[in-house]
Every structure is written in structure tokens, then in C-alpha cells.
Amino acid sequence: MLEPEISVEDFARLRQQENAPLLLDVREPWEFNTASLPDSILMPMGDVPSRAHQELDPDQPIVVLCHHGMRSLSVTMWLRNQGFEHVQSLAGGIDHWSRVIDPKVPLY
């Protein structure tokens, strides 16, 4: 099984590939509206239990994103327990992405 977390550098490389993982943003709508990454799907953490099995493919690679990486790691572990084997949390969250990969993404 994959490591539970993926570095922003490794994810930046994966995003360039043809079959890039789905980017699942588990922050709140106000956070998403403040700063987000293109092609991400907003599913606030509290909505994941009721929406995951209807809206996500358990066989698809998924990278989970939050502000600093704590909520996303929690959601990653929950999804793995639900049979989603190809899920990883973005280490450091969108904050780390902004600092290391793309400074145009606002910090908050």
C-alpha cells in the first residue's frame, strides 16, 4: 500500500502526468474560496462520510488536501478503512504547497 502521505514535490510531478490523481480538498468552503488548486474537488471533512461512497471511485488514486495536512491525513486514514486503497494526504497541506511549489496560491 502507498505511504499515507505524499510530498508536495512528488504530487507536483504527478499532477503533470496524464492520469493524475483526483485532488480532494476537505477544507471548508471559505478556505477553498480563499486559496485552492485547479481541478480540485471540494468535499468538506464533515461531508466525507456521507458523500465518499457516492462520489469517489475507490480504485482511483486520490490525494487529499487541507490547510496544514492534519484533516487530510485523518480523512485519508478514514477512506483507507473504507476500502479506498489509493489515497494519500498532501503533507503540509496547501500552506506548504504555497510556500514550496506555487507562491501565487494565497497563504491564510
* Model confidence pLDDT, tens digit, residues 7-19: 999 999 999 999 9
Residue 105 in any domain: the answer is no
Q: Is residue 10 in some structural domain?
A: yes
- The predicted pLDDT at position 1 comes to 78
Q: Is this model's pTM higher than 0.75 or not?
A: yes
What pLDDT does 5 receive?
98
d(CA 48, CA 28): 12
CATH number at residue 65: 3.40.250.10
What is the mean pLDDT of the segment spanning 50-68? 98
Q: Is the CB of residue 69 less than 8 Å from the CB of residue 96?
A: yes
pLDDT of residue 102: 97
- Does a structural domain hold residue 38? yes
d(CA 7, CA 93): 9
Q: Give the number of domains in the chain.
A: 1
Has residue 107 been placed in a domain? no
| pLDDT level of residue 34 (50, 70, 90 thresholds) | very high
Q: Beta partners for 27?
A: none
Residues 6+ apart with CB under 8 A from 30: none
Query: Is 74 within the bounds of a domain?
Result: yes
Instruction: Give the pLDDT band of residue 60 (cuts 50, 70, 90).
Output: very high
pLDDT at 70 over 90: yes
- Dihedrals phi, psi of 26, to nearest 5 degrees: -105, 15
- Residues tagged active-site: 66
Q: Which domain holds residue 35?
A: 5-100
- Domain membership flag for residue 87: yes
In the 8-state DSSP scheme, what is residue 3?
-
Length of the chain: 108
Tell me if 29 is assigned to some domain: yes
- Kindly indicate the confidence band of residue 42, based on its pLDDT and cuts at 50, 70 and 90: very high
CA–CA separation, 19 and 82 (whole Å): 23
Residue 106 belongs to a domain: no
* Spatial contact of 1 and 83, defined as CB atoms under 8 Å apart: no
